[in-house]
Structure 1
């Protein structure tokens, strides 16, 4: 069975750029305006029940247990075995969140595996 190389169309590349920028932007928002921002942290720790405080507690729980990096690594390993745009998008989202939200090691390895998903043997020439 002949394996065809995994290549993205220009529309898929634009979609991945938008998804990547939105994911990293939201992760930066969570990190610097919810997790590390002192007035929000003090208000949430004092018992404020808002959506921002709930997102802060969820993000804190997830990065303390390395969920972002683990999910990114699992999706990236699946992407290496069977490349698809769905796996690439999911891995990009999980790795982007993990890089910004303190799961750097596992997310970095996942990004490397996502890049390796494009490595396929060149077609033989006649």
Structure 2
């Protein structure tokens, strides 16, 4: 990850911004990823590498958000998701005191699992 305040790298956008800009400043350590997304036609709106303080993010024009994390962090998250049954996730998100972020994460997880199961059945 880049240090905060390091000089940004200019990345060519997939399409010009409304103000006519064709390039945007990006953290150097993720510039190649952002450039590749834009080159493939996936317009990026915003990004930050996290500067060692948090996971990086790349926001796409279509509403998706890419979270950048290390391999180990991604594997730990994947394992954590797989350990919870649907019923356990429901219990957590319906519990008193469950914060909004965790509730949204749980609902998204249940939705993704359902879509995966339905897709597998129809295949």
The two structures share one fold, judged by TM-score above 0.5 = no
**TM-score normalized with structure 2 length:** 0.28
Task: Answer 1 or 2: higher relative contact order, Cα 8 Å, separation at least 6.
Answer: 1
**TM-score normalized with structure 1 length:** 0.28
Q: Which has a greater percent of strand?
A: 2
